[in-house]
Amino acid sequence: MKRKKKKSRRLRKKHRKQKPTRDPVAESRNRLIEKMESHPLGPEIKWDDGSAKEKMSEVIFKYAEPFLELTHNKEQEKKALAIAMILWNYAVMPGELESEQLKDLKKMIGIPDGEKDADALKYVVDFMMKRKKTEFPDVHRIVLNYDITETPEGLYLNVVSHVPDPEK
């Protein structure tokens, strides 16, 4: 009987010394929650309880497919997702894309000033705007923040989105 107790104590001690396994998805979600605590809409945000028709992260992955098909590594995939989310928000907002917003986008992507590059960017932006309207016409959420983390299965995207009030 004493041997069993000693063995049991040793196993408990050993178990306590083991580090808990790292959960990158949970860590990503926690980082996103921390980021959103200081956001102006923070108190108004309703966290997904599983009742949403579709997860915004899945919508963004589908929306970003044309960009993701052209990537060769994780860093390019992350950048493609970030650009897709910016273009998504432009597509959801009313009105035309302003030239100032295009300049900001060019700067973010790293495209130098030039008419040829501006035309190419305008083509991509127009393509993605049409893609949003034709393939996701009923999704009106704006991406407020996101976190991308690497998992053994690939990239994992956590998104905080918000349905804008149509009267504002």
CB atoms inside a 10 Å sphere around CB 33:
16
User: pLDDT of 34-89, one tens digit each?
Assistant: 777 776 766 666 555 555 678 899 999 999 999 999 999 999 999 999 999 999 98
Of 31, 150, 34, the residue nearest 81 (C-alpha) = 150
Distance CA 100, CA 117 (A): 15
> What is the reported pLDDT for 44?
63
The model's pTM is 0.73
- What average pLDDT score do residues 81-104 get? 80
Q: What is the DSSP string of 34-56?
A: HHHHTSTTGGGPPPP-S-SSS-H
1-40: pLDDT as tens digits: 455 555 445 444 444 444 455 788 888 788 877 777 776 7
